[in-house]
Structure 1
Amino acid sequence: MSNLGNETKGFISARDLLAATPEMQQRYGYADTLREIRQQPETWLGTAELIRSTHVRELLRNVLSPQPTHIVLTGSGSSMYAGECLAPNLQSGLGLPVQSIASGTLLTHWSSVLPPGPGLLISLARSGDSPESCGVVSRLLADAPKYRHLVITCNASGKLATSYAGDPRVSVLTLNERTNDRSLVMTSSFTNLVLAGTGLLTQSDSDVQATARFADAVQRILDDHAQALAALAVEAFSNIVYLGSGGALGAAHESALKMLEMTDGDVVTVAETYLGLRHGPMSSLNERTLIVGFLSSDPLVRAYEIDLLRELKRKQLGIKQVLVGQDIPRDVLGAHDIAVLLPSMHTNDSVLPLLADVVVGQMLAFFRCIASGGRPDTPSQGVLTRVVGDFPMHQG
């Protein structure tokens, strides 16, 4: 294991990282992050069972009765991007307008961006202790009283979960403590928050079975693609563009954030839609750009995405590609590109493929951090903290 750490930057074998003793993993600062990335398929099964449980079904039925005119998902950083993943899925399934608005935007501009009530605000949070979390809920309870609130959090003792006990307008859904990631970066907390949000839709035995099958598929991705992604992480790319359509744009935003957080910004990231890339951002692609594409399970959407990938091939843009999805045409893949194939889904509205997209993004960021001599559990050299520190709540 002498090849780990700042003293010898470079290629790190995924097998060596996994085989290291817990003490060695702690020494080199990656034990929590590696465990939390790899535990995701197992924790999804627990979350799928939780949102089908009788008490949670009753809680969520009450949240949606009477039916709100619209739903707003909110959070900060990764939690905001979880909302972006969820919004299209919930709007399609519930037949209601659903949008994602950052907590910071609601804190400063709620009166101009929040649709008029009666509505439902869903706050997504790992710890629930960030200043914006309670700041937004408290502000809207006072100034937008027609809104009801649902908190989905990984931390039962967090301020967001405990501060509004007894207020009938606030309901709380707490996930298993294992999802409350100890690492600075959110990994299993992110994917479980996304999955938990689907509890607002009707759940059945087939949904749990689909989650179990998909969890098995992602476990194989973790096992089978780790070495290739670890090797790719030392390639001479200086920037990455992450591409996604619909809810997958949230997965692209989250993957870009993971790379920024775990490399201290050393790798420049862009997250964009496939069709949006042509309108300016394509100019940032060059011979040192890695392209990570999350492909839609909808054949029509995927056709537009494949067109864009073929255009990038013709223009010889990008050093390599990592493509995640199903039915990936051979002509968009170069000899050294990585294709992560997903199982076919019976519905185009499922969030499950987005969980796989994010896992691939997490793995790539993790290995790049290790390869550059960083410590995934505590990146950023003190600039970032696991929970954003307190700052004043100003009253207008």
Structure 2
Amino acid sequence: MFNITAEELENKQAVHTATEIQQQPVVWQELVASIFQQKESLRGFIESIYAKHPQVRVILTGAGTSAFIGDTIVPELQKEHQGKVQFEAIPTTDIVSNPTAYLFKEVPTILVSFARSGNSPESVATVELGEQLIDEFYQVVITCNKDGKLAQNIKNDDKAITVLTPDKAHDQGFAMTSSFTCMMIAAYALFTEKAFTGNGTKQIIANADRLVDTVSESVDDILKFDFERIVYLGSGSLAQLSHEAALKMLELSAGKTVAVHESSLGFRHGPKSILNDKSVVVVFMSQDKHTRKYDMDILREVAAEESVKVVALTERNDAEVEKLADWTIPVNFGKENLSSDYYLSLLYVIFAQTLALKKSLQLGITPDNPSPDGIVNRVVQGVTIYDYKK
């Protein structure tokens, strides 16, 4: 698995993390089959809310990686709905500390909670605040844990539904990997205006299946360069995905590798100063022709920095990209082009997860538990929730 022996995975406490990255195409298939079975009831719940109100606000929320799911898919959902429904990604960590800045009494709201465990204190508190502050309040809980507080608390609530991922997506490793991608697929399937058919999902699953088998070759070559800093760049939804990519490296390297993210255009406005001769820049290239022009510009710019190594992820082989980047990683191996950057994000993140896993092992860290001293925990601890009083 990823050119790592079973014995090494066991000895270095990496079995869960490696397995949970590698299993994603299989788990996605199981998830999609489950969503198809529930398609009418799930979509019916959402459409019934739309029918009741001339304006509906959908807040996609979570903490950490769970928050980045909403960040990544909101641009695509906003584009599809053209303002008919207002989609926003707001972390629970922001809502809990400043509820009246984000929760509005007279605006009908669907709160979409992303949760691996469903027990994070900020997630539970956000729901309680929504119930307290919003007159017409609805919930969608997308979770990997049917026994978590979020799922349990809405069992008898006719204004709420739960979407469960397959059991295997309830990651046992420290870092969220298959849980992230499964919850992202579930949310997109629920809210997309496009027909959620088997063809698109089959295409992405087939590409992911090949990618998990081949990506290690590029990753191993990249790791021959002893980088201490990594920068992830992208545009639109891929700029948001870069946040998750950077977090995976930061988490699994236990902070030993400095990992930052930025948009392709935003990088010049100060953040570029992080680059030194121990830096790798990863550019997530868009498939959109207009957006890609800006990704190409920053790729040219960072490639001109002789001391910096550059990785470009792109949908297909591209001669100009290959000329500029030290490593070019195409992710679409089929005949049909992918229809949006949403689909690309599911493939690009597999690379980021794999690179973080193998960098962790290179540094002598245990990926399944990169913080044995308890500085950070699989389910956040040490959070005090204060009662909100109007």
TM-score (norm 1): 0.89
SS at match of 2:98: helix
- 1:289 and 2:262 equivalent? no
Partner of 1:27: 11
Summarize deviations over 1:255-282 as a string: whole Å, max 9, x none. 1001000111111111000000111111
Partner of 1:57: 40
Instruction: Tell me how far 1:37 sits from its aligned partner.
Output: 0.3
- 1:85 and 2:72 equivalent? yes
Partner of 2:185: 195
1: CA distance, partners of 2:193 / 2:87 = 17
Partner of 2:300: 310
SS at match of 2:265: helix
SS at match of 1:114: coil
Structure 1 residues 223-372: aligned runs within 5 Å? 223-316=213-306, 318=308, 320-327=309-316, 329-333=318-322, 337-343=326-332, 346=337, 348-349=339-340, 351-372=342-363
- 1:47 and 2:28 equivalent? no
**Which amino acid in the other structure matches residue 393 of structure 1?**
I
Structure 1 residues 37-186: aligned runs within 5 Å? 37-53=21-37, 55-67=38-50, 68-95=55-82, 96-114=85-103, 117-186=107-176
Aligned residue pairs: how many? 377
2: CA distance, partners of 1:203 / 1:87 = 15
Taking a change above 3 Å as real, the CA distance of residues 170 and 312 of structure 1, as seen in their structure-2 partners, is same
119-128 vs 230-239, greater mean Cα deviation = 230-239
SS at match of 1:304: helix
Instruction: Tell me how far 1:203 sits from its aligned partner.
Output: 6.5
Instruction: Tell me how far 1:308 sits from its aligned partner.
Output: 1.3
Summarize deviations over 1:373-392 as a string: whole Å, max 9, x none. 11110002322211112533
2: CA distance, partners of 1:189 / 1:158 = 14
- 1:391 and 2:380 equivalent? no
Summarize deviations over 1:307-353 as a string: whole Å, max 9, x none. 111122234362x2221112554344458722111327656445221
Taking a change above 3 Å as real, the CA distance of residues 265 and 188 of structure 1, as seen in their structure-2 partners, is same
Instruction: Tell me how far 1:145 sits from its aligned partner.
Output: 2.8
Taking a change above 3 Å as real, the CA distance of residues 112 and 309 of structure 1, as seen in their structure-2 partners, is same
**Which amino acid in the other structure matches residue 41 of structure 2?**
E
Summarize deviations over 1:139-183 as a string: whole Å, max 9, x none. 111121322111100111111110122122221111111110000
SS at match of 2:49: coil
SS at match of 2:328: strand
Q: Given that residues 234 and 262 in structure 2 are in contact (C-alpha distance below 8 angstroms), is that contact kept between their aligned partners in structure 1?
A: yes
Instruction: Tell me how far 1:58 sits from its aligned partner.
Output: 1.2
230-239 vs 149-158, greater mean Cα deviation = 230-239
32-41 vs 85-94, greater mean Cα deviation = 85-94
Instruction: Tell me how far 1:240 sits from its aligned partner.
Output: 0.7
**Which amino acid in the other structure matches residue 91 of structure 1?**
Q
**Which amino acid in the other structure matches residue 65 of structure 2?**
S
70-79 vs 345-354, greater mean Cα deviation = 345-354
Summarize deviations over 1:38-57 as a string: whole Å, max 9, x none. 0001111122222222x343
Instruction: Tell me how far 1:358 sits from its aligned partner.
Output: 0.8
Q: What stretches of structure 1 of length at least 5 have no aligned partner? A: 1-12
Taking a change above 3 Å as real, the CA distance of residues 57 and 212 of structure 1, as seen in their structure-2 partners, is same
**Which amino acid in the other structure matches residue 50 of structure 1?**
S
Taking a change above 3 Å as real, the CA distance of residues 315 and 230 of structure 1, as seen in their structure-2 partners, is closer
**Which amino acid in the other structure matches residue 277 of structure 1?**
F
Q: What stretches of structure 2 of length at least 5 have no aligned partner? A: none
SS at match of 1:64: helix
2: CA distance, partners of 1:181 / 1:315 = 39
**Which amino acid in the other structure matches residue 94 of structure 2?**
T
2: CA distance, partners of 1:253 / 1:136 = 22
The share of aligned pairs that are identical, in percent, is: 30
**Which amino acid in the other structure matches residue 111 of structure 1?**
T
224-233 vs 181-190, greater mean Cα deviation = 224-233
Q: Given that residues 130 and 390 in structure 1 are in contact (C-alpha distance below 8 angstroms), is that contact kept between their aligned partners in structure 2?
A: no
TM-score (norm 2): 0.91
1: CA distance, partners of 2:112 / 2:2 = 38
1: CA distance, partners of 2:60 / 2:47 = 14
Indicate the structure whose relative CO is greater, using CA pairs within 8 Å and at least 6 residues apart.
1
Taking a change above 3 Å as real, the CA distance of residues 347 and 364 of structure 1, as seen in their structure-2 partners, is closer
